[in-house]
Amino acid sequence: MANQDDTFKKVISHAKEYGYVFQSSEIYDGLSAVYDYAQNGAELKKNIRDYWWRAMVQMNENIVGIDAAIFMHPTTWKASGHVDAFNDPLIDNKDSKKRYRADVLIEDYCAKIEAKIEKEVKKAAKRFGDAFNKEEFLSTNGRVLGYQEKIKTILSRMAKSLEQEDLADVKALIEELEIADPLTGSKNWTDVKQFNLMFGTKLGASAESAMDLYLRPETAQGIFVNFLNVQKTSRLKIPFGIAQTGKAFRNEIVARQFIFRMREFEQMEMQFFIKPGTQGEWYEHWKAHRMKWHLSLGMGKENYRFHDHEKLAHYADAAADIEFKFPFGFKELEGIHSRTDFDLSQHEKHSGKKLQYFDPEENKSYVPYVLETSIGLDRMFLAVFSNALQEEALENGTTRTVLKLPSVLAPVKAAILPLVKKDGLPEVARKIVEELKWDFNIIYDEKDAVGRRYRRQDANGTPFCITVDHDTLKDNTVTIRHRDTMKQERVNIDDLRAIIKKEVDVRNWLMKMA
Ligand code: ATP
């Protein structure tokens, strides 16, 4: 089995080779942690965004979508807490001069202990065979319990120190655990310092009158400041949600994992406004509902897990991540946060405007509580793309590279291939393209032998190849080849639209959430 680094390298090079993701400004040697989506990547990203929007906005009559500006009044970020508290604790290694997030170093240390637990589980599963009960083993095995206790102690100490801004203790913890620079092994650390992640910029022409602005570090605040405008104009009653997708910017300290952690990225967020006191049930509801959305894409239940936060953000009373098994292990893909009335109350305070809802059932006004679901579009892209990329051993002893994207998300739905470039076959193939392009993203390819064209489309993630041959001229049938099974069928040209639609239609995929 290829190791994690190799798998991840393959993902990155495949994304480049097949026109999914390019390094930004590559001809100038690139810009660190900034990426461009290429011809296929832009389509895949759009399809993921649409899939989310359809599930969130179109399928819920009490959720509406907005598109707020990236620039916001600077007081927004004072109110939200980002000016004072949107910091990462960073630490430098004096020998390697590399900079790390102190909390990530500690979390990675715990992940290694977690890996030891996994090892014990595997060993025991082998030893006990069919009689093995994982739950029981995890709750009774002495060694495993010891590891779990250690993780808990470390993480809760870190959470407490960060909460109390006791950065000296965070450093002390790193030293006590003897955490070394992962690249060089050096344990020669500086003190831990806070670093604000917002990008600053200026609005206005002259230096004197210019106003300091920030590029938004999250899309959520554009929703909060519009809460009352949307509520009044839509006349929605609580509970209701406002959804938004858009760019966010963070000056990330450690940005090394391709599109997992970028400085410019896109979020898909939904803020659900609820009656105070009901946050517990809505928290559970949205956790379950968002997991269903993920599972509807068929990327394997075993690749997801929930992770409840030990360290709560300043605004939250409960928070969990949906983690996905990326090529470098389980990491956060989406966050579900119970944000209380923190944001709206803060904006009331800083703006002097009331942001309250009059509840006709209760006959009183209150500041609603908020339940948030927040997912990174680029992270979702990486999850989908890395999960889809497979090397498959074939019966004839060769291997093929195939990108098994959920077909609802695939950039190109079908490739139309004339078997040869003569005898009128290209003309028929072109006619099929002209017919199908009204409904689907289709491409025409006549270059190289048909076998090579199949492989090219496999690697590109195209669910169907449709081949026009000499029989087509006689009986109006074509061969349709399925990417995942490589099975080929003979079908009538007039049936193509229905066959493709059945496979790629959003409806058929989203129905799996029901
Ligand atoms: P992390 O702990 O990984 O830094 P976070 O907890 O700060 O993430 P949130 O502020 O909850 O992230 O943002 C919500 C979602 O936005 C995350 O679940 C993630 O999918 C995405 N996201 C956050 N930061 C980045 C980034 N730098 N690049 C790409 N996606 C990101």
pLDDT 10s digits, 39-86? 999 999 999 999 999 999 999 999 999 999 999 999 999 999 999 888
Give me the pLDDT at residue 313, please: 73
- Over residues 212-233, mean pLDDT: 95
Q: Tell which wins on pLDDT, 52 or 311.
A: 52
- Over residues 405-430, mean pLDDT: 97
Ligand 1 centroid–CA 334 distance in Å is 8
Q: Tokens 């009559």 appear where?
A: 61
Per-residue confidence at 233, pLDDT binned at 50, 70, 90? Answer: very high
* pLDDT exceeds 50 at position 193: yes
Do residues 45 and 382 touch, judged by C-beta distance below 8 A?
no
Which of 24, 155, 265, 373 to mutate to test ligand 1, by most ligand atoms within 8 A of the CB atom?
265
- Over residues 246-275, mean pLDDT: 93
Closest approach atom of ligand 1 to CA 267: 16
* pLDDT exceeds 50 at position 1: no
Torsion angle, CA of 91/179/3/452, rounded to 10 degrees?
A: 0
Answer yes or no: is the C-beta of 216 below 6 A from any ligand 1 atom: no
Give me the pLDDT at residue 210, please: 76
Ligand 1 centroid–CA 196 distance in Å is 15
pLDDT in tens, 333-386: 999 999 999 999 999 999 999 999 999 999 999 999 999 999 999 999 999 999
Per-residue confidence at 2, pLDDT binned at 50, 70, 90? Answer: low
Give me the pLDDT at residue 162, please: 87
Ligand 1 centroid–CA 376 distance in Å is 6
Q: What is the DSSP letter of 13?
A: H
Q: What is the DSSP letter of 141?
A: -
Query: Measuring from atom 22 of ligand 1, which residue has the nearest CA?
Result: 376
Answer yes or no: is the C-beta of 373 below 6 A from any ligand 1 atom: no
Give me the pLDDT at residue 329, please: 92
Answer yes or no: is the C-beta of 335 below 6 A from any ligand 1 atom: yes
- Over residues 474-480, mean pLDDT: 97
Q: What is the DSSP letter of 299?
A: S
Q: Which of 289, 278, 221 is nearest to 56 (CA)?
A: 289
Q: Which of 10, 34, 511, 491 is nearest to 252 (CA)?
A: 34
Ligand 1 centroid–CA 235 distance in Å is 32
Q: Tokens 């060694």 appear where?
A: 143
- Domains located in the chain, CATH noted: 1-70+216-395 (3.30.930.10), 87-196 (no CATH), 412-513 (3.40.50.800)
Mean pLDDT, rounded, of the chain? 94
Give me the pLDDT at residue 204, please: 81
Q: Which of 290, 240, 268 is nearest to 63 (CA)?
A: 240
